[in-house]
C-alpha cells in the first residue's frame, strides 16, 4: 500500500506493508541515521521527530503517519553537527550509536523548554539509553548547548 508523508520537509511516497514500522521504512530507504537497537521501545536509538515531537520509530506503523512530518538527522544536519561539537568537547561522544536519537530529542527539548532544569533535561531524555557513559558528560554537554543556543 502507498503512504505519503513529509520526510525532512520533502513530500515522499512509500510502498509499505500494513504491518511495517516506520523504522523499517526509513532504513530500507537509506535513512541510516535511524538506528535499529532493541525493537522494544526501550533504547531510543530509533528516535525521530514526528510533527516536531520525539517518537520511537520502532513503535509507529508507517501507515499511521499519512500526511505527517517526519524529521531525521539527515534533515537537521547543521543543528545536529552543532550538538555533536558539544558532546565532543565534554567527552560525551564515545561509540556514537545513541547520538542521532539523542540529538533529535535535545532539539525537541530546546523547542519545548525555555530554561529547563537538570531534572527537566533528565526526564526528557530518559528514553535515550547510552551503554557507554554515566550520562554526566552528556548532561554537561546538553546544558552548555542549551545555554549557548539562547
Ordered structural domains, the chain, with CATH: 2-74 (3.10.20.30), 76-148 (1.10.150.120)
Please give the pLDDT value at position 130: 82
Please give the pLDDT value at position 94: 80
pLDDT lower than 50: segments of the chain:
none
Please give the pLDDT value at position 20: 98
Quickly count: other Cβ atoms within 10 Å of residue 66's Cβ: 10
Please give the pLDDT value at position 23: 97
Q: Which three cell numbers stand for residue 80?
A: 545536529
Cα–Cα dist 52/143, whole Å: 21
Q: Which long-range contacts (CB under 8 A, 24 or more apart) does 143-147 make?
A: 143/118, 144/86, 144/89, 144/90, 145/82, 145/83, 145/86, 145/106, 146/106, 146/109, 146/110, 146/116, 146/121
Please give the pLDDT value at position 42: 83
Please give the pLDDT value at position 59: 95
Q: Enter the pTM of the model.
A: 0.93
Please give the pLDDT value at position 135: 84
Is the alpha carbon torsion for 98, 99, 105, 110 positive or negative? positive
Amino acid at each position: 500500500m502507498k503512504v505519503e508523508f513529509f520526510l525532512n520537509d520533502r513530500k515522499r511516497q512509500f510502498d509499505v506493508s500494513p504491518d511495517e514500522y516506520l523504522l523499517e521504512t526509513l532504513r530500507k530507504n537509506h535513512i541510516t541515521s535511524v538506528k535499529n537497537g532493541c525493537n522494544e521501545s526501550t533504547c531510543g536509538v530509533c528516535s525521530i521527530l514526528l510533527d516536531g515531537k520525539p517518537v520511537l520509530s520502532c513503535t509507529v506503523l508507517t501507515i499511521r503517519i499519512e500526511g505527517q512530518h517526519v524529521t531525521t538527522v539527515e534533515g537537521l544536519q547543521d543543528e545536529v553537527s552543532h550538538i555533536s561539537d558539544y558532546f565532543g568537547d565534554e567527552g560525551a561522544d564515545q561509540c556514537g550509536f545513541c547520538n542521532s536519537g539523542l540529538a533529535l530529542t535535545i532539539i525537541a527539548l530546546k523547542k519545548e523548554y525555555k530554561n529547563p532544569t537538570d531534572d527537566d533535561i533528565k526526564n526528557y531524555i530518559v528514553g535515550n539509553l547510552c551503554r557507554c557513559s554515566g550520562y554526566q558528560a552528556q548532561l554537561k554537554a546538553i546544558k552548555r548547548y542549551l545555554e549557548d543556543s539562547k
